[in-house]
Amino acid sequence: MTLEILTSDLLGPVRHGFFTRRGGASSGIYHGLNCGLGSTDQREAVRINRTRVAAAMEVPPENLSAVHQVHSADVAVITEPSQDRPRADAMVTNVPGLALSILTADCQPVLFSDPEAGVIGAAHAGWRGTLDGVLEATLEAMEGLGARRENTAAVIGPTISQRAYEVGPEFFEDFMMQDERYARFFASGEGGRYLFDLPGLGLHKLREAGAGAAEWTRHCTYSDPEKFFSYRRATHAKEADYGRLISCIRL
């Protein structure tokens, strides 16, 4: 089965893709293209899946760069192939042939490109990382490599949508303590709970930070089990673990 890859014209002539779960070697609850090194899936299946992704990106498997994601605002500058995964939640590079890869299962995968400067980035942006500034930090790190914010496009890939993201009042209060204007990203739910708009917050942060263009692909991970893995859906189904989607970009 061939891989299914979502792309955006906004990123320009830069090879990239938000990979769905279709076309992988994993089975069971991981059925499809599970690329999660931290999952309890069979290691060989994950290796096969990641090799297929590298081939689709037209790089050798060792050039598929990754970070050990910890819901931070830390950014790694990638200059050469390495099997080490620095603790960070975003990566930037100006080196052709290195594919930056991010794993998600409801959080936002965000790909960045300034094709004029030859600088790219990729970020894992859950609610904590987004609130703490991982998107702004990625733009700043790209500037350090010669990118210009006004020339940089950023695209949010498949993530959990507001209608599927129910949170409690303490979550809402955490946001209000930072900035009361964040109330616009919450809608009233049932029983005193709220529905949170994660991609809405991501787009707001990108535009406020001066990105030249920003969009969300408008794919909801929770609502489409045929295409996407979802941590929240797996939790609601009381499954033992969940697959991870991969999103990549390279010069």
- Per-residue model confidence as pLDDT tens digits over 195-247: 999 999 999 999 999 999 999 999 999 999 999 999 999 999 999 999 999 99
Share above pLDDT 90 across residues of the chain, in percent, rounded to a whole number? 96
At 147, which amino acid appears? A
Domains of the chain: 5-161+197-250 (3.60.140.10)
Which pTM does this prediction carry?
Answer: 0.97
Q: In the prediction, which pLDDT does 194 show? A: 97
- Report the chain's mean pLDDT, rounded to a whole number: 96
* pLDDT over 70 (residue 15): yes
- Does residue 1 register a pLDDT over 80? no
**Could you tell me what percentage of the chain is helix, strand and coil, using 3-state DSSP and rounding each to the nearest 5?**
30, 25, 45
Are the C-beta atoms of 29 and 240 separated by less than 8 Å? yes
